[in-house]
Structure 1
Amino acid sequence: MKLKMGGLKVVLLLLGVFMCVIPFSYGLSESCMMVYDEGRAPAVLRSPECPDWVLSAESRLNCQFSTTQGRRRYQEDHISCNLDMKIPLSGENGPKNINVGVVAVFDGHIGKEASEMASKLFMDYFYLHSVFGLHKNWLSEKEEQDIDEESELHSSNLGRCIPTEASCLICIPTFLIMREAFKINSASGTTAVVLLLVDGQIFVANVGDSKALLCSETQDDDGSLKAYLSPKELTIDHTAHRDEERSRIEQAGGIITGYGLPLINGHFPMTRAIGDVPLKIYGIISDPELRDWQALTANDSYLVISSDGIFESLNPKHVCELLQGAHSGGSKKLKRKPSCSSESSLADCIVQEAFEKGSTDNLSVVVVPLRSAGFSPMKH
């Protein structure tokens, strides 16, 4: 998909305003910036110069999630989630925070090492790139354009202070630094799907075949709402079914066999993954595919972020129909298909249904009820 940055809108306006006013706060010292320049997130986390920038261990704050080993011998799925991450920035009237929801699901293979490491590193890396990277980008823009702070605060000049590629600046280094960390383990690998929620907008990045989808109310031709939630898939699997992915693998010397699920060199189904160092020579890459920022609407009801095991036995339409029970308050009218009740854990409900339908994989899912979480615009 073509990457566009026009959807950043209000969040980047706020980021630009806040960053333009006070260059160093919350421990963002010049010495710590130098550490970041030299070694990025890993160096900051190790440095005594930057004691204030380490988050807590693997977090699942304010998130509705479920994960189980299922029928596999080992659990290789891991989740990191925080729907209320505070990104510290400086403002005209003092320190301010931008609230960012962050959900990440990692599905490991050939061992749990890569997915486990990713889940532990991701929040710290993302947090550091959000603060240091955006600030560094602003300093670079400011130096090039030689714009003083007063002129930056004028509305006609705010665009110059806003990083025009903020999503790339945050997400790509996070993924690629994790890739470097996994070189110490030549066998293990992991998929990754990351979803950001900021100011009523979502941004999705993925590597491999873990998935994100949006369940929304849709309208009939007469304008009335349909009885069931409809899915919109926010990711596309990285497999040899996609022409551009197949071409890269074949040009690198990889052999693709099979039709139902094409396999690389007879055993590997994905064309992108983090880790898997021995397969890199065959065109397996870890670069994330980034989707456009998308504004949520009043009809958007649930976000679902999961490992591919959920969709081994369910399809996106089935998942959204499961959530319909909670969406309608457990209405007894919904007898056509099983559904989750408003009293149950929606994530547990999806995992249980996938297991009962025969999935043989690890099962992990995060469900974000947009209206109750305050992420979806209210109807007028």
Structure 2
Amino acid sequence: MKTMMMMLQPRDPNTLFSGGGISFLSGNKNGRFSYGYSSFKGKRSSMEDFYETRISEVDGQMVAFFGVFDGHGGSRTAEYLKNHLFRNLSSHPEFFNNTKSAIVESFKQTDADYLKEASGQKDSGSTASTAVLLGNRLLVANVGDSRVVACISGSAVPLSIDHKPDRTDERERIEQAGGFVIWAGTWRVGGVLAVSRAFGNKVLKAYVVADPEIQEEEIDGVEFLIIASDGLWNVVSNEDAVALVQGITDAEAASRKLVQEAYSRGSSDNITCVIVRFDHSFASL
């Protein structure tokens, strides 16, 4: 039987909403971890960020899924990802045997399912920055410009690379598909979209794909993770983010600290942050 814990999205987006928990992973002697999340509408008129923190039993193993989904053109795509992406991934037949392939296929299938269901939503889209904890494996998958940064040996290590239209490889991919990238206040696909990969965005789908880039690390080498929307990263560097919360052992308090710091530095976007902190001392107890 599968069991899962789901966190509710804030009902009042004008309020900074936060929470967290503690859990364990199967098959990892250092599998105790804590997590915290904070989300704030900030200076935007509407809230388009969503997040997910899900601890599930999958085929008898405890697995953790964390994600931040930054919507654009409305919140519908981001909300859809919150409700469907990890469910699709955990039910993929190759989830344990070929996890990376399962992630890629689940991302693509979720995007296709959304486009069919939301046929009238031509401009709505979303990023997805996710982390899957499986045994001693940490698998980070990213689409768009939300970002995952790890603290490893005291240093900030990016585990994802933003999908921006001015990335040389991304621009070449878009142009080879028949699209174009131009400057319109910032570099944009088709003069419209400031990210080069996303879920949704039906009109630009031939160029703006939902294919994730994946990076894997061993959990034993990671002190903590920061998963956040660009409302944080636009004003706080990777190094600053890690330094600001390195001494805060409460993951929820750390996530609140980063959201509040981004707002105080003038972030003009929605701000959402998830922090996962690993307790490597637990194995020696």
TM-score class, shorter-chain normalisation, is: 0.7 to 0.9
Equivalence for 2:242: 320
Alignment of structure 1 residues 269-288 onto 2, 5 Å: 269-281=194-206, 283-288=207-212
Supply the AA of the counterpart residue of 1:66.
S
Tell me the C-alpha RMSD between the 2 structures: 2.7
Q: Which has the higher helix share?
A: 1
Report SS of the residue matched to 2:94: helix
- Between the aligned partners of 1:104 and 1:209, the Cα distance in structure 2 is 13
Looking at CA atoms only, which structure, 1 or 2, has the larger radius of gyration?
1
Q: Alpha-carbon deviations, 1:195-223, whole Å to 9, x = none?
A: 01122221111111111010133xxxxxx
Q: How many residues align?
A: 258
Equivalence for 2:113: 181
Supply the AA of the counterpart residue of 2:147.
K
Retained in 2: the 8 A contact 1:58–1:123? no
Supply the AA of the counterpart residue of 2:89.
F
- Between the aligned partners of 1:252 and 1:289, the Cα distance in structure 2 is 18
* Deviation larger for 316-325 or 239-248: 239-248
Alignment of structure 1 residues 285-324 onto 2, 5 Å: 285-291=209-215, 293-297=216-220, 300-324=222-246
Report SS of the residue matched to 1:350: helix
Equivalence for 1:47: none
Judged with a 3 Å threshold, the aligned counterparts in structure 2 of structure 1 residues 259 and 234 are, in CA distance, closer, same or farther, namely farther
Retained in 1: the 8 A contact 2:6–2:52? no
Retained in 2: the 8 A contact 1:214–1:232? yes
- Between the aligned partners of 1:249 and 1:316, the Cα distance in structure 2 is 27
Report SS of the residue matched to 1:173: helix
Retained in 1: the 8 A contact 2:37–2:252? no
Deviation at 1:343, TM superposition (A): 9.5
Equivalence for 1:104: 67
Retained in 1: the 8 A contact 2:5–2:56? no
Superposition misfits of 4+ residues, deviation over 4 angstroms = 53-61, 376-380
Equivalence for 2:141: 205
Deviation at 1:178, TM superposition (A): 1.7
Retained in 1: the 8 A contact 2:182–2:189? yes
- Alignment gaps of 5+ in structure 2: 9-18, 22-34
Residues 1:73 and 2:9 are matched in the alignment: no
Alignment of structure 1 residues 26-175 onto 2, 5 Å: 26=1, 62=21, 63-82=35-54, 84-88=55-59, 97-129=60-92, 133-134=93-94, 163=97, 165-169=98-102, 171-175=103-107
Supply the AA of the counterpart residue of 2:43.
R
Report SS of the residue matched to 2:89: helix
**Counterpart pick for 2:268 among 352, 355, 360:** 360
Report SS of the residue matched to 1:278: helix
Q: TM-score, normalised by structure 2?
A: 0.81
The structure showing larger relative contact order (alpha-carbon pairs under 8 Å, at least 6 residues apart) is 2
Judged with a 3 Å threshold, the aligned counterparts in structure 2 of structure 1 residues 78 and 99 are, in CA distance, closer, same or farther, namely same
Supply the AA of the counterpart residue of 1:72.
R
- Alignment gaps of 5+ in structure 1: 1-25, 27-52, 89-96, 136-161, 218-228, 328-341
Q: Which has the higher strand share?
A: 2
Supply the AA of the counterpart residue of 1:284.
V
Q: Alpha-carbon deviations, 1:128-168, whole Å to 9, x = none?
A: 22xxx138xxxxxxxxxxxxxxxxxxxxxxxxxx83x3321
- Between the aligned partners of 2:226 and 2:161, the Cα distance in structure 1 is 14
Deviation at 1:297, TM superposition (A): 3.5
Supply the AA of the counterpart residue of 1:127.
S
Aligned-residue identity in percent: 28
- Between the aligned partners of 1:379 and 1:350, the Cα distance in structure 2 is 31
Deviation at 1:113, TM superposition (A): 0.5
Equivalence for 1:14: none
- Between the aligned partners of 1:369 and 1:127, the Cα distance in structure 2 is 22
